[in-house]
Chains A and B, each alone.
Chain A
Amino acid sequence: MRGMYIHIPFCHQICHYCDFNKVFFKNQPVDEYIESIGNELSILVEEGHSFKNLETVFLGGGTPTSLSEKQLDRLLEIIHQYVDIGSLKEFSTEANPDELTSGKLSVLKNGRVDRLSIGVQSFDTELLKRIGRTHGADDPLKVIKEARQLGFENISIDLIYGLPGQTSKQWEDTLDKALSLELPHYSGYSLIVEPKTVFYNLMNKGKLPLPGEDIETSMFSMLIDRMEAAKRQQYEISNFSIPGKESIHNLIYWENDEYAGIGAGAHGYLKGKRYANIGPLKKYMENADNGTRPIINQHEVTKIESMEEEMFLGLRKTAGVPFNSFETKFGKTLLEVYGVVIEDLSNKGLVEVAEDSLKLTRKGIFRGNEVFQEFLK
């Protein structure tokens, strides 16, 4: 296990596009939930898992910054109790710009959190309102300034393109503002309208004016070009950084390595098994508090599945899937297993057989799904 993900499923406001496991903060047993996280960690330790040599811890949600200072402090205290913080290479939290008060920043700093991933999404006030965000366009600027003053250097922001009503010009302005902050890391995601979201319902009523495939494509193209021009290299389909500032935690996913998923609805990959935790809070907490793993399902990944995952996750990285690491993991060469597929994809100009790895071409990056699915049985 290289990393740990901890899910904080509370939000003060639910975004119109979000389909993660989350609930309104109000009237929820937040304090008790934090204790349940401790209980889940203790169960895992009892089952023989060790958190001593972790490289990363990642707090995600929901919104970790929806917690009060006190709650945040308690959460960090619990993490310190189980995780050897000294061994960590990266300790990240997601944060909402309008919730990241100086008080919370200090708590995070004291708790040795060293990376902030801020959900900015857009620098257009109108758009922000339309997608259900509570912060304004200027909030991130203030927060980032303050965080930097407190000594946070490793800061990333999330941006979304393809939003309803969004024009190319608006996206360009957002990218300009984002890059003017000169952050080491940026994520740029395309809007996917998922079931059980406000957007989904609007879409079904024909009331969601999405920009369409052509504009979305050019927005993606613009994202890559702007980032590269500003020396933020695309190291994964949606992620850009100055070299050495890649998100180690996310790389764990794409390198097909193991991680613990803690909290309601979290997903993890431990000792060859992928598992999902129970989503509903009450049930999750009951299980964790009674000393049983709060999982809803788990699946032992077969060798073939693992090879497939190695490919469809690994190819998301611009560095691609290294030939030697594939062979070390599976005892067969990449070309032995997927030679035919690779030849076909390479003829289509979607992948490139480089000296020591298989990579997507620029065309392949835009059409990743076509590549990934070819590696599935």
Chain B
Amino acid sequence: MNHEERLARQKNIRNFSIIAHIDHGKSTLADRLLEKTETVSSREMKSQTLDSMDLERERGITIKLNAVQLSYTAKNGEDYTFHLIDTPGHVDFTYEVSRSLAACEGALLVVDAAQGIEAQTLANVYLALDNDLEILPVINKIDLPAADPDKVKQEIEDVIGLDASEAVHASAKAGIGIEEILEQIVEKVPAPTGDPQAPLKALIFDSHYDQYKGVIVNIRIVEGTVKPGDKIRMMATGKEFEVIETGVFTPNISLRDELSVGDVGFLSAAIKNVGDTRVGDTITNAKTPASEPLPGYRRLNPMVFCGLYPIDSSKYVDLREALEKLELNDSALEYEAETSQALGFGYRCGFLGLLHMEIIQERIEREFKIDLITTAPSVVYNVVTTDGKELKVDNPSMMPDAQKIDHVEEPYVKASIMVPNDYVGSVMELCQQKRGNFITMDYLDASRVNIIYELPLAEIVYDFFDQLKSSTKGYASFDYELIGYKTSKLVKMDILLNGEQVDALSFIVHRDFSYERGKAIVEKLKNLIPRQQFEVPVQAAIGQKIVARSTIKSIGKNVLAKCYGGDISRKRKLLEKQKEGKKRMKQVGSVEVPQEAFMAVLKMDED
């Protein structure tokens, strides 16, 4: 392809993504766009083509990104190439969202015609505005009886300040408005502006590991071109590779001779480690490199840490292999070996957030068949000791003795919670309970409020969102961003089983809540840990001081004293089942502790 052909093609490229709240119909709309442009025939259409992992389908969220090329012949008779770039739908993955938005010139803002804008959507709209995207409002589910498009339009104008007068009225489910959306993309989303003759600048917005091709890097070409045989350099890591294949997803892999400005596709270059292809990094040509990388790259730091231990200690090596394999595909996952007195050998792992943690844990159990003990998630504390040293502590059991601590700082987030005004009271009560500082409250319209709180990250990492949903009957939506560290009166609480401290059960708690929490946790553990061979005291302690105590009773009777007749195989099965159940418990000293107990320390408030 020569320069003129490239420019002609570039003129008709449109890159966009879809911003929507969970359940507002993003995946269904994506499906319709693929169908309408005959990228995927309706016959081979699985519902929600873009969500490819089983887990994603099950949870109804997108975890890994996808980009699909669509061909569209517009009403003006010209052929256009669209790239639809999917974005993950969860706060844990905000940075990935921002990078995939940076790969676009436009975004469809999908808002449910009955529910209006949600906090998550708003956060992503701001990300899109930061990236100078042209935003096309789409009011979806227009066919619902409760749809109120005028109200939603007004909200879009009031809250975001966008002109919503040309917002498409659509129903992705019923196929209404799809063509209009495609036409608006042609008309309103700008064509990519880069120069195909300039040195290569390709933005990495995702990557995944393929066992045959190595890392497949999802890229958006901003300047220049790239083709097989080119020597490329990752500008942040300095690593160089030779391109083997270039192509696009249609949505299956389709090889192309080159990728030029505006193209959204992939390249493979026998890259063995996903860590070499960091999201947000710029790929350039090693021979004629660009002078500056694209803006916006930052290294992702895990926010939440927990210990992962195999229940069966002999699976330690298997667990390492599982983490190695997952890491290939997940540059945000961090892990290092750690040892717990109670749990033996395991790994301390860092995650972007709770969802990320649960996904990794679930994949290890499902795909690698390793039963795990997960210790309660912890944030990273800044501990300043009396001799002026500063320590980062991501494992409560590593907290220094209280006498040696001058003060402890913990990460805070700014949380914005959108809720109908009937629930303002319950949201504030919850935030107060979570040690929140009220900042402000804005009325979005007559009935909806955006409440801003500063909250300790530690208080929201576990089940804050679940609690928020249940205290607002599901109406609240929630988003947060990290705002830095603040000093708090925090203490370490230890748990003793049978007089022995169990390091994996230690947790950090605010001094003012410590007695209450101690009492609740020993009760909870008493109920979670089954009866043992002998009576086991459960104690909660701060330093040397015991603040709460309960007792697990000894087993009374555990024997089949039933008339089973000659059915021996049934007896056998019953014993096997009991034995299996026992295997899922961890022997801690002389006490058998079930998996759930280790998470219990954080899941307190529902009781």
Q: Tell me whether A and B are bound partners.
A: yes
Check if A41 is an interface residue, CB within 8 A of chain B.
Answer: no
- In this assembly, does A184 line the interface, its C-beta being within 8 Å of a C-beta of chain B? no
Q: How far is the CA of A372 from the CA of B577 in the complex (A)?
A: 12
CB distance from A287 to the nearest CB of B (A): 19
A368 in the interface (beta carbon within 8 A): yes
Closest chain-B Cβ to A211's Cβ sits at a distance in Å of 11
Residue-wise, chain B 559-586 has the 8 Å CB interface mask toward A (1 for contact) of 1111101111101101110110010000
Q: Which residues from A are CB-within-8-Å of B555?
A: 366-367, 370
Interface residues of B (CB under 8 A from A): 531, 533, 553, 555-563, 565-569, 571-572, 574-576, 578-579, 582
Asked if residues B561 and A237 are in contact (CB atoms below 8 Å), the reply is yes
Shortest beta-carbon distance from B554 to chain A in Å:
10
Can you spell out 12 A-B residue pairs with CB atoms less than 8 angstroms apart?
Answer: A189-B563, A213-B557, A214-B556, A216-B557, A238-B562, A269-B566, A274-B569, A348-B533, A367-B559, A369-B558, A369-B578, A373-B582
Segment at the interface with B among A32-40, A42-50, A67-75, A259-267? A259-267
Contact call B568/A369, Cβ cutoff below 8 A:
no
Residues of A within 8 A of B556 (CB): 213-214, 216-218, 366
Q: How far is the CA of A214 from the CA of B558 in the complex (A)?
A: 11
* Set of chain B residues within 8 Å of A60, measured between Cβ atoms: 565
Q: Are B557 and A309 in contact (CB under 8 A)?
A: no
For B565, what are the chain A residues with a Cβ–Cβ distance below 8 Å? 5, 20, 60, 253, 267
Binary interface profile of A, 264-305, with partner B (CB < 8 Å = 1, else 0)? 001111000010100000000000000000000001000000
Known: A192-B562, A373-B582. A313 touches B568 (CB 8 A): yes
Q: Is the CB of B557 within 8 A of A376?
A: no
- Cβ-defined contact, A189 with B569, below 8 A: no
Q: Any chain B CB within 8 A of the CB of A187? A: yes
Judge whether A376 and B563 touch: CB under 8 Å.
Answer: no
Which residues of B sit under 8 angstroms from A253, Cβ to Cβ? 565-566, 568
Residue numbers in A under 8 Å from B553 (CB-CB): 214
Asked if residues B572 and A366 are in contact (CB atoms below 8 Å), the reply is no
Known: A267-B566, A312-B572. 20 other contacts (CB 8 A): A20-B565, A60-B565, A187-B563, A188-B561, A189-B563, A213-B556, A217-B556, A217-B557, A218-B556, A220-B561, A237-B559, A237-B560, A253-B568, A266-B566, A269-B568, A313-B571, A366-B555, A366-B556, A373-B576, A376-B575
Q: How large is the interface on A (under 10, 10 to 19, 20 to 34, 35 or more residues)?
A: 35 or more
- In the bound complex, residues from chain B placing their C-beta under 8 Å from that of A267 are 565-569
Does A114 touch B at the CB level, under 8 Å?
no
* A309 touching B575, Cβ below 8 Å: no
A-B contact count (CB 8 A): 92
User: A190 in the interface, Cβ–Cβ < 8 Å?
Assistant: yes
Contacts of B531 in A (CB 8 A): 213
Task: Write the residues of chain A forming the contact surface with B, with a CB cutoff of 8 angstroms.
Answer: 5, 20, 60, 158, 187-190, 192, 213-214, 216-218, 220, 237-238, 253, 259, 261, 266-269, 274, 276, 299, 308-309, 312-313, 348, 365-370, 372-373, 376
Q: Is the CB of B561 within 8 A of A189?
A: yes
**Contacts of A276 on B, CB cut-off 8 Å?**
567, 569
Q: Which residue of chain B has its CB nearest to the CB of A348?
A: B533
Q: Which residue of A lies closest to B566 (CB)?
A: A267
Which chain B residues lie closer than 8 Å to A366 at the CB level? 555-559
The 4 closest A-B pairs by CB, nearest first: A217-B556, A368-B559, A373-B579, A217-B557
The reply to whether B563 and A367 contact each other, CB–CB distance below 8 Å, is no
Chain B nearest CB from A295 CB (Å) reads 13
Tell me the complex Cα distance, A216–B555, Å. 12
Which of the residues B561, B568, B569, B575 comes within 8 Å of A190, measured between beta carbons? B561
Q: What residue in chain B is nearest A308 (Cβ atoms)?
A: B572
Closest to A366 in B: B557
**Min CB gap A4→B, angstroms:** 10
> Contact partner of B560 among A216, A268, A348, A368, CB < 8 A?
A368
Residues of B within 8 A of A266 (CB): 566
Query: Pick the contact of A312 from B562, B563, B571, B582 — CB < 8 Å?
Result: B571
Partner of B558, one of A238, A274, A308, A367: A367
Cα of A309 to Cα of B562 in the assembled complex, Å? 17
Q: How far is the CA of A366 from the CA of B554 in the complex (A)?
A: 12
Closest residue on chain B to residue A249 by CB atoms? B566
Q: With the chains together, A60 CA to B555 CA distance in Å?
A: 33
Q: A373-B582, A376-B576 known; A309 and B558 CB under 8 Å?
A: no
Interchain CB contact under 8 A, B562 and A372: no
**A365 touching B572 in the complex, CB below 8 Å, given contacts A60-B565, A266-B566, A268-B566:** no
* Minimum C-beta distance from B529 to chain A (A): 15
Chain A residues with Cβ below 8 Å from B557 are 190, 213, 216-217, 220, 366-367
Task: Given the known inter-chain contacts A213-B556, A237-B561, please indicate yes or no for A373 contacting B578, CB distance below 8 A.
Answer: yes
Pick from B557, B558, B568 the residue with the most CB of A within 10 Å: B557
User: Are A369 and B560 also in contact (CB < 8 A) when A312-B575, A376-B576 are?
Assistant: yes
Question: Chain A contacts of B559 at CB under 8 A?
Answer: 237, 365-369
A213 to B530 Cα, complex, angstroms = 12
CA distance A45 to B601 in the complex (A): 65
Please measure, in the bound complex, the distance between the C-alpha atom of A306 and the C-alpha atom of B562, giving whole angstroms. 22
Give the complex CA separation of A203 and B563 in angstroms.
21
